[in-house]
Structure 1
Amino acid sequence: MKALLKIASYIFHPVWMPFLGSLFYFLFIPRFFPDEVVKAKLMAIAIITVFIPIIFHFLLKNLNKVSSLFLDNVTERRWPLLFYILLCVMVLNQILNIYNYPGLFYYFLGILGSTVIAYIFSWFKLKVSLHMVGLAGLVMFVAGFCIYYHLYFIYTLSFMIIAMGLTASSRLYFKAHSSFELIMGILVGLIPQILALKFWL
């Protein structure tokens, strides 16, 4: 059980969530996009939201600015979150546009909002669970996507909710977060996505 909870912390790490949301969008949207465009967009999103943050993390670790991939110390979160804000802005300005990819654009706008809130909270010594932020945002995006396109991915949403529960249990088991921090993480992930839904539903 301990091994499963540990694996959950890595598999459902927030760094994967923007790419997973993008992959879901392009796989299931009932609209044609050329394969070359889809591959180019996914590659660009993967580079900006996954590979660059990982490289930045190792840079900060070499400079002794962070101690682990999970950013357990609230003060360690400030540089990574600020950098991620800039990366989200880059995706919104350079990779996506509101006309061709409205749902995905607003998903990233919600991610930007959640990241800004988490960054502000870090200055008040409030350590929200970034795992919950990422998963809750993704769940809300998938739910909104299904509502908009009248799709019924009940099993997908059920799996994601189970994943949230497993990840929350993992964070509690390893004493990375309190219950309050997990709940705050869920709210920080959900609320910006709910607000973003109003613009594209």
Structure 2
Amino acid sequence: MFISVYAVLLYFFFLTERYHPYQEVFLVTIQVIILTILIPISIFYFLMTLGRANSFMLSEISQRKIPLAVNILLLYILIRESIRIELIPELYYFFFGALVSTVLALLFVFINLKASIHMIAISSITVFAIGFSLHTQTNHIYLVAFLLLLNGIVATSRLSMKAHDTKELIVGFLSGVIPQIGLLYFWL
């Protein structure tokens, strides 16, 4: 949920060397917070009130359908109306990759597979950071190493909490990595 905000903040304050006016940074960050954190949390509490979700973990596969569908819609709105390709192409492709990953997670629900959304998120931001290092030809080795370490920590924590099995973690990892790698061609 917070990976989208982390990606925006990483982009504006650490990765890019382009100048962006303070107003643009603020506006994009607020829009991402609203569309990827505040609205999904509100909808989740609404689903809990209706009895369609029992906890934040969404341990039952059938409970994932509505939140993932809503997330797809919100990401579509974000890339269609806010983070357009003409303004910030790198973030546009990151969020487009996130949209593809979310569609994949929803499709996996229909075949009774619970892909790890945590792994989708951390692996996608890792590929984004690697791609940005290639794009700008700057050395972000410590950031990439830190994100790779976080991939392992997230996978280990999901296994130790018994939230996912190894197959679900691998599917989540690949669902985050493959769309981002596929889209690197367009913005590198």
TM normalised by structure 1 equals 0.91
Q: Does 1:199 align with 2:186?
A: yes
The CA deviation string for residues 79-132 of structure 1, in whole angstroms up to 9 with x for no partner, is 000000000000011111111200000000000000001001101101111100
Q: Give the residue type in structure 2 aligned to 1:22.
A: V
3-state DSSP class of the match of 1:139?
Answer: helix
Q: Does 1:25 align with 2:35?
A: no
Unaligned 5+ residue runs, structure 2?
none
The farther-off stretch of 87-96 and 64-73 is 64-73
Distance in 1 (CA, whole Å) between partners of 2:81 and 2:179 is 21
Q: Does 1:46 align with 2:28?
A: no
The corresponding residue for 1:188 is 175
Over 6 Å off, 4+ runs: none
Q: Between the two structures, name the one with larger relative contact order (CA 8 Å, sep ≥ 6).
A: 1
Q: Does 1:172 align with 2:125?
A: no
Distance in 1 (CA, whole Å) between partners of 2:185 and 2:3 is 21
The CA deviation string for residues 135-191 of structure 1, in whole angstroms up to 9 with x for no partner, is 000100111011101121111111111111111111111111000110110000000
The share of aligned pairs that are identical, in percent, is 36
Structure 1 residue aligned with 2:137, among 150, 157, 181?
150
The farther-off stretch of 56-65 and 183-192 is 56-65
Q: Does 1:107 align with 2:94?
A: yes
3-state DSSP class of the match of 1:166?
Answer: helix
The corresponding residue for 1:12 is none
Distance in 2 (CA, whole Å) between partners of 1:149 and 1:108 is 19
Q: Does 1:138 align with 2:138?
A: no
Distance in 1 (CA, whole Å) between partners of 2:43 and 2:138 is 38
CA apart distance, 1:43: 0.7
Unaligned 5+ residue runs, structure 1?
1-14
Q: Give the residue type in structure 2 aligned to 1:102.
A: P
Distance in 1 (CA, whole Å) between partners of 2:59 and 2:144 is 28
The corresponding residue for 1:58 is 45
CA apart distance, 1:21: 0.7
Distance in 2 (CA, whole Å) between partners of 1:174 and 1:137 is 22
3-state DSSP class of the match of 2:84?
Answer: coil
**Mapping of residues 78-117 of structure 1, within 5 Å:** 78-117=65-104
TM normalised by structure 2 equals 0.97
